[in-house]
Amino acid sequence: MKKRLLNITGSLGGGINSVVNSISKELSSIYSIDFYILRKTEHISILGWLKRFITIKKIMQNQDLIHYHGGWLMALALLYKKPKASLVISPHGALDRVSLKKSRYKKLFVKYIYMKRAYLNANIIHALTDKEAADIRAWGIDTPIEIIPNGIDFKDKLDINLELKRRLKDLSKDRRVFLSLSRVHKAKGIEILIDAFSLVDSREFCLFIVGEGSKEYISFLEHKIKKLSLDNSIFLLGPLYNEDKNSVYEISDIFILSSFNEGFPLTVLEAYRQKKAVITTTATPFKWIVENESGWYIKPTKSELKRVLEEALLKDLGELSTMGSNGFNYSLKNYNLNTITKRYNLMYSKLI
């Protein structure tokens, strides 16, 4: 009889759920897997929260293993008392020192009311990187830590929206195409990216900014782009998914993630899956990019971005293709879904 595994996550979309769903699919032959998704609902009543808690509590009672994904979901309050099932918690960057500064006093309150106790009740804390493991220890948690990075399926056949690909090609006007794909948020360094591009000859490039953001912030960026006279070179395309997202990766020459703060972004792996050179910052855990000659790994500053943008524009397409292939080969070896799934299974096997 299969052991029962419950995954608790915070939303239907995003990188966390993408990883959880992919790994669960791979492990479905070994475990009977249940999901409980705590959808964010505004103006939910106290009775509504109580019903949620009762539902989760009932589901938790029939499990052999519970894997909680996320940092600040209220479901952690249910783990103040150690459950009968073995417990794994994945903070997914929630305890990053930069992240903790946001809503600092609220987070300190939650920490001492129930969150730290829940983390101490876990059998294993799952960290994505050595840095995240250090952040967990700095938070006062001495629970055993298992470090397993994110991964994706590098052998997955990617569907392409050919019509979108054609339209994006027309929009690029045969210029060098840079792609920024992430949540459109101040923490992603999109403003300094736009500023850096304003210092480079705009006739030589176009930048596609893909992702979801607040109306206010999107409007602010649109105004900024227009003010810098870059509205014929920088395009806000909104969120793209599935075959549309694959299409914008395919049409690009270089992927850029200019973040100030990151956990383990899947977008870098997605770019390498389509053999694209990458520019990313020291906020990400991809220091190997430089040694592996797969792109650029820089501090998240306007001057550094300007420098590497100018370097990237001087590279011919053959050099960029080699960078992308180098990144693909390294990522395939270290972050492919099959390898990562085996490491998850080994972690779970220790507990049940």
With 90 as the cut, is the pLDDT of residue 345 above it? Answer: yes
Task: Give the confidence band of 40 by pLDDT, cuts at 50, 70, 90.
Answer: low
Containing 277, the helix (H) or strand (E) segment is strand 277-281
Contact between residue 253 and residue 277 where contact means Cβ atoms under 8 Å apart: yes
Query: Is residue 157 one of the residues assigned to a domain?
Result: no
With 80 as the cut, is the pLDDT of residue 186 above it? Answer: yes
> What is the length of the chain?
352
**Do strands 254-257 and 176-181 pair parallel, antiparallel, or not at all (unpaired)?**
parallel
In the predicted model, what is the mean pLDDT of residues 248-261? 96
Task: Give the confidence band of 47 by pLDDT, cuts at 50, 70, 90.
Answer: confident
Q: State the Cα–Cα distance between residues 272 and 278, nearest whole angstrom.
A: 8
Higher-confidence position of 118 and 98: 118
Q: What is the total count of domains within the chain?
A: 2
Q: Do 25 and 142 share a structural domain?
A: yes
With 90 as the cut, is the pLDDT of residue 330 above it? Answer: yes
Higher-confidence position of 110 and 127: 127
Query: Is residue 107 one of the residues assigned to a domain?
Result: yes
For the chain, the C-alpha Rg in angstroms (whole number) is 21
Contact between residue 39 and residue 65 where contact means Cβ atoms under 8 Å apart: no
Q: Do 184 and 54 share a structural domain?
A: no
Report pLDDT for 100: 84
Report pLDDT for 44: 64
Q: Do 224 and 77 share a structural domain?
A: no
Report pLDDT for 39: 63
The pTM of the full predicted model, rounded to 2 decimals, is 0.90
Report pLDDT for 111: 86
Query: Is residue 210 one of the residues assigned to a domain?
Result: yes
253: nearest Cα among 164, 335, 180, 329? 180
With 60 as the cut, is the pLDDT of residue 211 above it? Answer: yes
Q: Do 340 and 215 share a structural domain?
A: no
With 70 as the cut, is the pLDDT of residue 13 above it? Answer: no
Q: Do 182 and 308 share a structural domain?
A: yes
Q: Do 345 and 330 share a structural domain?
A: no
Average pLDDT, the chain: 91
Query: Is residue 156 one of the residues assigned to a domain?
Result: no
In the predicted model, what is the mean pLDDT of residues 26-38? 90
pLDDT per position as a tens digit, 58-98: 888 889 999 999 877 777 777 878 889 999 999 988 888 88
Higher-confidence position of 216 and 108: 216
Report pLDDT for 32: 95
Q: How far does Cα 23 stand from its chain's mean position? A: 15
259: nearest Cα among 305, 213, 220? 305
Q: Which amino acid is at 158?
A: L
Q: Do 192 and 44 share a structural domain?
A: no
Phi, then psi, of 273 in degrees rounded to 5: -60, -35
In this structure, of 12-16, 28-32, 82-86, the range with the lowest mean pLDDT score is 12-16
Among residues of the chain, what percentage have pLDDT more than 90?
A: 71
With 80 as the cut, is the pLDDT of residue 324 above it? Answer: yes
In the predicted model, what is the mean pLDDT of residues 251-261? 96
Q: Do 26 and 136 share a structural domain?
A: yes
Q: Do 197 and 103 share a structural domain?
A: no
Q: Do 172 and 55 share a structural domain?
A: no
Higher-confidence position of 294 and 350: 294
Q: Do 213 and 145 share a structural domain?
A: no
In this structure, of 48-62, 179-193, 238-252, 276-290, the range with the lowest mean pLDDT score is 48-62
Q: Do 85 and 209 share a structural domain?
A: no
**What range defines the domain where residue 141 resides?**
3-151+336-351
User: Which CATH number characterizes residue 312's domain?
Assistant: 3.40.50.2000
Query: Is residue 18 one of the residues assigned to a domain?
Result: yes
